[in-house]
Structure 1
Amino acid sequence: MKIIAIPDVHLKPWMFERASELMDEEKLDGAVCLMDLPGDWGHGKDFDLYIETYDAASRFAAAYPETKWCWGNHDLSYKWGLDQSGYSSAMQGTVRGLQGRMADLLPAGNPIRYVQRIGSVIFSHGGLSDLYVREAAPSIKGNDVDGVIDRVNSRGARYLWNDESPIWLRPQPQYHPTKLFHEKAMLQVVGHTPVDGIGCTGNLISCDVFSTYPDGTPIGTQEFLVLDTMTWDFDGVQ
């Protein structure tokens, strides 16, 4: 299966427009969005931009209903009412309403989750560590990947709002190198941590290449990850 990964959006509605074009141009089979739809430098009260972003995401969801969506920390700060950098209290009610509207568009059985899986590839905003799995699902055998993911996806803010969780983890070598869940058998694809280019370290692909510096300058190459979930071959496409 050949898919496109849409990393951290941060109020860039054009990302969904380009991803939609690439679905046809690259003859892709599916898509995964690592979310963080809200939150960007200096746009805490830009009502129109929030609306445009969620409208673009909703159009993409309607056009490609099998798309998998992963909660990010910036999404959940509004869902759970928890403050963090980039959170705008002025937009709290608006974002909650937009999140609810988008959730209603998704097919039954395909809600937004913390962790998603396609074959031997795990997708999440930050990464699923072995340590977090051992704490979250101590009674589930490690080879029961679906059982572990279901357990993690059933958890709430109390167990997710920490640096080890799949919405906050930064497992890249330059931040918090850690053993990933089932790392010899599963590939993981993450956003959350801005990088200057899509890259693979071990069985971890980091693809948050659309985030920017405070002045709006892109940190990364602004390419979309295109991944073959069977062979793990990947490329970046603008």
Structure 2
Amino acid sequence: MKVMVIPDVHLKPWIFHRASELMKEIKPDRTVCLMDIADDWRQQFNLDLYIQTYDAAIAFAKDYPDTLWCYGNHDVCYLWNQRETGYSKIAPWTVCEKLQILRESLPDERQLAYLHRIDNVLFSHGGLTDAFVRRYVPAGKYNDIDIVIDMINGFSCGEMWQDASPIWYRPQYYEGRLYKPRKLLQVVGHTPVDRISRKGDLISCDVFSTDSSGEPIGTQEFPVINTDDWEYFGVR
């Protein structure tokens, strides 16, 4: 299956506009958004930009209803009232309302979750570690990937608001083992990188984020991944 990935958004509505154009050009079988729709450098009081970006996401969801969406830390922080870098004190009501509209726009609300699996490719914002699964999933269910995903997708702030969770983990910086490394390829955003890259069982693709001066860190490409052979390329 050919899957196009929309990496971390961070208040860039044009990402969804370009993604919509690419849907017509390359015709992927499925699309996955790694979210972090909210927050960007020095934009905490630009409520109009929050509204524009979420409205663009909602429009994309309605136009392409099969799209899967992966919660990021900058999404759930508003749902859970957790302050972090970039958090906007004036945006919580707007973000929560827009996330509800996004969720209700989907044919199945389970399309908005922490983890999604297509074939043997696992999509999440930060990455799923072996240690996290072993800590929170009963040992007897460890080898059933779908049960593991379903259980974790039912977690809330208590389990997820920590560095080792799939919304916060940064496998680019840590040597910890990912879950099922010989079985699953993981595709993640969250950690800005200068280009889409693969290392072992991990593809990193947060290439739209900017530095504190607003300059792009990465190539601003959309990864397109073949879930059968794990080959990938980027499109602009």
Give the equivalent residue in structure 1 for 2:220: 222
Question: What residue identity is the alignment partner of 1:37?
Answer: I
174, 183, 187: which one pairs with 1:189? 187
- Residue segments in structure 1 that go unaligned for 5+ positions in a row: none
**What is the number of residues matched between the two proteins?**
236
Question: What residue identity is the alignment partner of 2:205?
Answer: C
Contact 1:210/1:219, CA 8 A, preserved across alignment: yes
- Please say which of residues 107-116 and 177-186 is displaced more in the overlay: 107-116
Looking at structure 2, the residues matched to 51 and 38 of structure 1 have their Cα atoms a distance apart, in angstroms, of 10
Question: What residue identity is the alignment partner of 1:214?
Answer: S
Question: What residue identity is the alignment partner of 2:55?
Answer: D
Residue deviations 1:22-43, cap 9 Å, x none? 1111121110000000000111
TM-score by length of 2: 0.98
- Please say which of residues 107-116 and 47-56 is displaced more in the overlay: 107-116
1:142 positional shift: 3.1
Contact 2:78/2:96, CA 8 A, preserved across alignment: yes
Looking at structure 1, the residues matched to 27 and 168 of structure 2 have their Cα atoms a distance apart, in angstroms, of 32
Question: What residue identity is the alignment partner of 1:149?
Answer: I
Distance 1:188 1:94, change over 3 A: same
Question: What residue identity is the alignment partner of 1:225?
Answer: P
Distance 1:109 1:96, change over 3 A: closer
1:143 positional shift: 2.6
Give the equivalent residue in structure 2 for 1:178: 176
How do residues 13-92 of structure 1 correspond to structure 2 at under 5 angstroms?
13-92=13-92
1:109 positional shift: 4.9
Give the percent of matched residue pairs that are identical in Structure 1 and Structure 2: 53
Residue deviations 1:16-74, cap 9 Å, x none? 11111111111211100000000001110111111110111011100111110000000
- Residue segments in structure 2 that go unaligned for 5+ positions in a row: none
1:236 positional shift: 0.8
Looking at structure 2, the residues matched to 95 and 27 of structure 1 have their Cα atoms a distance apart, in angstroms, of 30
Residue deviations 1:89-119, cap 9 Å, x none? 1111111111111111111253310111101
Give the equivalent residue in structure 1 for 2:157: 157
RMSD: 1.0
Distance 1:102 1:109, change over 3 A: closer
TM-score by length of 1: 0.97
Contact 1:70/1:124, CA 8 A, preserved across alignment: yes
Looking at structure 2, the residues matched to 205 and 177 of structure 1 have their Cα atoms a distance apart, in angstroms, of 15
